[in-house]
Amino acid sequence: MRIDTHTHIFHPKTAQRLFTEYDKIFNRSPAGDGSLDMLETHLHADGFTHAVILNAALSPWQVESVNSFTIMLKEAEPWLIPFGAVHPADPDWEKHLEQLRANGIKGIKLHPEFQNEHIDDPRFLPILEAMGSDFVCTIHMGRCHLFRGCCATPAQLARLARDFPSVRFVAAHMGGHNVWEEALDVLHGKNVYLDTAFSLPYMPKNIVQRMFKEYPRENILFGSDWPFCRAGDTVKELRAIAGLSEQELWDLVSNANALFNMT
Ligand SMILES: [Zn+2]
């Protein structure tokens, strides 16, 4: 099993809007068009078998449709591990979380910037408590060019990981864009995983090397952030920037198998 733990698919209209801004901000083109067909083609061509699809709800009234889509994807596409969504302002979050659990959804994506809330806001806390060990919780972390503020820092996540020890957190983008040193200082591998999505080329090289030396390697997950980057490109970055050998690379990819009970 070779799982890319950080991908997205988008409605064509959403993709068009995102990519216009993306081109302007990053001065490069995305790797894919955001469609399921192209994801499957790219993923298999790059040597991967499964993909985690991260779906977030930007507003409380999106939760139901995002989760229906998530459950539909899980039923229709056995090679996908689609994540569901919760929103801190959703009055029915308990019901919606229960629906995800009942349908065997394995993870939840939190996007605090899009959700206008800090990750340690009191409204997130009962949701994390209720998630327990049933869901992997991937969080968009750090200070990237797309958002003005920063709603999820490594220090905040470290406190949550201590207070909710049964939740398995994934700090996306190697602990968070532009907060990598803080991630190295305060995060540890116990119930906090890092993913490699859209991060290595933007990190100072010495920090990349420290990350791969000091952070528990079994808690680093392979993620590409398709359609923004391709898995094949992330593989190349792991070889060239992190200096991983062929064996180390595929060992890293296999870390996700245990996390998603797919061994
Ligand atoms: Zn992403």
Give the Cα separation of 144 and 152 in Å (integer).
11
Chain centroid offset of residue 39 CA: 16
State which residues form the domain around 186.
3-259
Ligand 1: distance of its center to the CA of 174 in Å? Answer: 12
Residue entry with tokens 């733990």: 5
What's the CA-to-centroid distance between 90 and ligand 1, angstroms?
Answer: 22
Quote the ligand 1 centre to 146 CA distance (angstroms).
12
Contacts (Cβ under 8 Å, ≥6 apart) of 218: 189, 255
Instruction: Please tell me the distance between residue 139's alpha carbon and the centre of ligand 1 in angstroms.
Output: 9
How many angstroms is it from 8 CA to the middle of ligand 1? 6
Distances (CA, A) of 221 to 7, 37, 67, 139: 13, 24, 24, 13
Residue 172 CA to ligand 1 center (angstroms) comes to: 8
| pLDDT tens, residue by residue, 27-86 | 778 999 999 999 999 999 999 999 999 998 889 999 999 999 999 999 999 999 999 999
- Going from the Cα of 225 to the center of ligand 1, the distance in angstroms, rounded, reads 5
Measured CA to CA in angstroms, residue 206 lies from 83, 212, 226, 244 at distances of 33, 10, 25, 14
Quick one: how far is CA 68 from the chain centroid? 20
State in Å: Cα 87 to ligand 1 middle.
Answer: 17
CA distance 62 to 66: 6
Distance 227 CA to ligand 1 centre (A): 9
Rounded CA separation 172/195 (Å): 5
Average confidence (pLDDT) per 10 residues, the chain, 263 residues: 96 83 76 96 98 93 95 97 95 97 97 80 94 96 72 92 97 94 93 96 95 97 96 97 97 97 82
226 alpha carbon – ligand 1 mean position (Å): 7
Distance 5 CA to ligand 1 centre (A): 10
CA of 173 to the centre of ligand 1 (A): 8
6 CA distance to ligand 1 middle (Å): 6
Q: What pLDDT shows up at residue 145?
A: 63
Distance between CA atoms of 166 and 169, rounded to whole angstroms?
9
Judge whether 77 and 36 are in contact, CB under 8 Å: yes
Measured in Å, residue 20 CA sits from the centre of ligand 1 at 16
CATH value at residue 162: 3.20.20.140
| pLDDT at position 163 | 97
- pLDDT of the residue at 146: 62
Task: Note the pTM of the prediction, 2 decimals.
Answer: 0.95
Q: How close are the terminal C-alpha atoms of the chain, in Å?
A: 8
Closest CA to 7 of 40, 252, 263, 24: 40
Three-class SS of 53-99 = ECCCCCCHHHHHHHHHHHHHHHHHCCCEEECEECCCCCCCHHHHHHH
Ligand 1 centroid, distance to 113 Cα (angstroms): 13
Query: Which pLDDT value is given to residue 35?
Result: 96
State the total domains in the chain.
1
Buried-exposed string 189-199: b where 16+ CB fall within 10 A, e elsewhere: eebbbbbbbbb
How far, in Å, is the centroid of ligand 1 from the Cα of 229?
10
